[in-house]
Chain A
Amino acid sequence: AQSVTQLDSQVPVFEEAPVELRCNYSSSVSVYLFWYVQYPNQGLQLLLKYLSGSTLVESINGFEAEFNKSQTSFHLRKPSVHISDTAEYFCAVSVTNDYKLSFGAGTTVTVRA
């Protein structure tokens, strides 16, 4: 079975500052990795995913994550955050032929002016 650890439950950050959300996973087989975001009063939205190929993946709103197999990590970064990035972020993993997702506990990002 696979598991996901998000190392920070709360991350306060000032507007225009960089942010990094840490995610580590454990699995005995190859994994697919995802970051989801939940804005206040909304559902989960896929932010970005790693399935194969380049280990650096990017989203349309400036986030990026890098798959590091040796460190079993998939940290999420953004060089300059906006107030609108205030949300809860979830790292998730799934494996070949098993389409359910295993989620981390979530990281709440609060961006302050």
Chain B
Amino acid sequence: EAGVTQFPSHSVIEKGQTVTLRCDPISGHDNLYWYRRVMGKEIKFLLHFVKESKQDESGMPNNRFLAERTGGTYSTLKVQPAELEDSGVYFCASSHGRGHGYGYTFGSGTRLTVV
């Protein structure tokens, strides 16, 4: 089966611009997660979708970040306007169920650089 696909793999934008990251989970995975790693620090949770519904968005840093999951398939994460501190690697993960035994499958990440 295809894995979790994220694109673009890299994005360099100027401060104040808008960027949209996309994640295609494994087909049939209802649970989709976004995580972010900023400047070599810990990977931090952003939010969790179950199908098209936001289950937990407690990790979203501020209202410049907007995540959507239309139809419960792929997800987008928009940053508008981007700030320098948004630079980092954004990971997406999906899982079939919500139990810990299912485990997550992570994508390769999108490296965002805001200059």
- Docked complex: A84-105 residues within 8 A CB-CB of B: 90, 92, 94, 99-105
In the bound complex, do residue B48 and residue A99 qualify as a contact, i.e. CB atoms below 8 Å apart? yes
In the bound complex, do residue B98 and residue A99 qualify as a contact, i.e. CB atoms below 8 Å apart? yes
8 nearest A-B residue pairs (beta carbon) = A44-B106, A103-B43, A43-B108, A100-B45, A43-B106, A32-B100, A103-B42, A105-B42
CB-defined contacts of A7 to chain B, threshold 8 Å: none
User: CA A46 – CA B102 in complex, angstroms?
Assistant: 11
CB-defined contacts of B108 to chain A, threshold 8 Å: 41-43
CB-defined contacts of A41 to chain B, threshold 8 Å: 108
A27 part of interface (Cβ distance < 8 Å): no
Q: Shortest beta-carbon distance, A94 to chain B, in Å?
A: 6
Interface centre among B31, B43, B44, B100, by most chain A C-beta atoms within 10 angstroms, is B100
Contacts from B to A (Cβ < 8 Å)? 3-4, 31, 33, 35, 40-45, 48, 56, 59, 91, 93, 95, 98, 100-101, 103-104, 106-109
In the bound complex, do residue A46 and residue B59 qualify as a contact, i.e. CB atoms below 8 Å apart? no
Which chain A residue lies CB-closest to B100? Answer: A32
Q: Is the interface of A mostly helix, strand, loop or mixed?
A: strand
A51 part of interface (Cβ distance < 8 Å): yes
In the bound complex, do residue A100 and residue B33 qualify as a contact, i.e. CB atoms below 8 Å apart? yes
CB-defined contacts of A36 to chain B, threshold 8 Å: 106
Which chain A residue lies CB-closest to B6? Answer: A43
Which chain B residue lies CB-closest to A36? Answer: B106
Q: List 15 A-B contacts (CB under 8 A).
A: A43-B3, A43-B4, A43-B91, A43-B107, A44-B93, A49-B100, A51-B101, A99-B95, A99-B98, A100-B59, A101-B43, A102-B45, A103-B35, A104-B42, A105-B42
In the bound complex, do residue B100 and residue A99 qualify as a contact, i.e. CB atoms below 8 Å apart? yes
In the bound complex, do residue A103 and residue B101 qualify as a contact, i.e. CB atoms below 8 Å apart? no
